[in-house]
Amino acid sequence: WSFGLHSNSGEGALNRGIIPWARFMGSPRGKDPNHDTGGILLPFVSPGFTGAKPVMITNNDWHHVAWQFRYQDQTHFFFLDGKLIRRIQLPI
């Protein structure tokens, strides 16, 4: 797993907003769909936003970003400042 902040512009400019993202790699064997997942949960490519517009960080204030994974149904949850902002269920 690796985590980061992503901007759609590629500039990382706060005035355009940045969003949490994750990259995950599973087993390369390709035999078990529950364990062989891999991919990038980029904010402007992957679905799952909980609001009409993506929630973005647009200032230099302190923010709490959290990720949670529910193994039972292979669902990822992204939180920003305690609020659920994305829910993504695999496979994408």
Q: Note the pLDDT tens digit of each residue in 9-55.
A: 666 678 878 888 887 766 555 556 555 555 667 666 667 888 877 78
Q: State the pLDDT confidence band at 4, using cuts at 50, 70 and 90.
A: confident
Based on the number of CB atoms within 10 Å of its own CB, is 18 exposed (0-12), middle (13-18) or buried (19 or more)? buried
Q: State the pLDDT confidence band at 65, using cuts at 50, 70 and 90.
A: very high
Q: What predicted TM-score, i.e. pTM, was given to this entire model?
A: 0.73
Give phi and psi for 48, each to the nearest 5. 110, 5
CB 20 within 8 A of CB 1: no
What pLDDT sits at residue 17? 84
